[in-house]
Structure 1
């Protein structure tokens, strides 16, 4: 063997895989997505069949065609209220992430704060938000603030728990090595603790972003004159089930889109974690 040549010695029980290319990723994406798409198509077909056979009254369950007609007829109205709910959701989610990450860092680095704050967070989480949302309306008025506050409150807990778990899950040997190399607390946090906690954080963000939609709509249920929660309440009061179904579908779509965006951010920011899940090297035992 000439100098500079690296010999590739196979290891017993280990099969090496090449990293997937763009084509492989596309095929993998299609492989993972066709099942939920097929299930969604089956649900739509069942919905259409039930309404076409008139098994239920139209004022109870509208047909898919009538629901689509509502989108076509009142698109501007639906879009206006959709944007309001989306803005409340994004603002509440952003604030929950900022304060949640900050609270988690403080709790990890201070056992006193953790022992003091953790029971309070748990107590606040188990309280039904629909029960205390009217208080926020009384305290903060009928504007956007109480809706954002409910969105923050309902999505804050998953962020804190995920971040605390991630920061505590760092390999102790890595922390010892960092201390041996003379790294300070800030350098250790930026180079070791925070990157290692990102997979846990993104798991919490996926839960939190969908809960933020729920929080914004719950706040609109209590007192609002705009937003999807307002649309759903108005449609329910007027027995306008096509509009009610349209509002529910749009609300669900917001949650799905935001969830997918968080997953895309995860793939971009921590590709090393995604490649590890893709098992570039697998055992054959």
Structure 2
């Protein structure tokens, strides 16, 4: 995840914010969740109707994609959400049933009207639009969420814009972080695998699970992710059971052949 954060930063710093920030400032902009990072399920935000909604309610017991944005961003946030919509449609997974999409504003000054205008201008798919959670929050809620994700943005008061990484965070149903993806370089197949992995085998088909044996390998640490480890354990158990049945059948057949030979003699 730390290596990816550098790519996210290189691809997606909001350009209008750069003029008032130094190179040293920008080196602090990052998206690098810690191992076992988890978003606080009880953290309160507001939806587009200005009703309180916790992150747990937004997750609704399903795997999710969370994308932090600036609703008044004049650079990459809009294209990033449009790219995400297109990739999600191509995954073949059903919004609301298979996964949740959570959009969270990083600027506490942005209103629900700002959030509504931003999302409706970029999400045209009715099913996705009906199931999306578009959230705004007070400064404390935003700080708590971004800290839990290792997400750091810098504000340029002169431009009223943020320098921030453009990333999509894949979450398990309990809020644990499973993947971080670049919002500007999303591949539909990778996105589908990220959601299947976050769903812990409850969405997708057998082909997806088999493909995850490769996708779920962490080459940096030389280990499989916990979900893939469980799949491998189940596969090994199944293989062992088949071998035991084959050996038992061979033993029974051998005894039968031996008894027949003795009868003939």
Q: Determine if the TM-score, normalized by the shorter chain, exceeds 0.5.
A: no
TM-score using structure 1 length:
0.25
Which structure dedicates a bigger proportion of its chain to helix?
A: 1
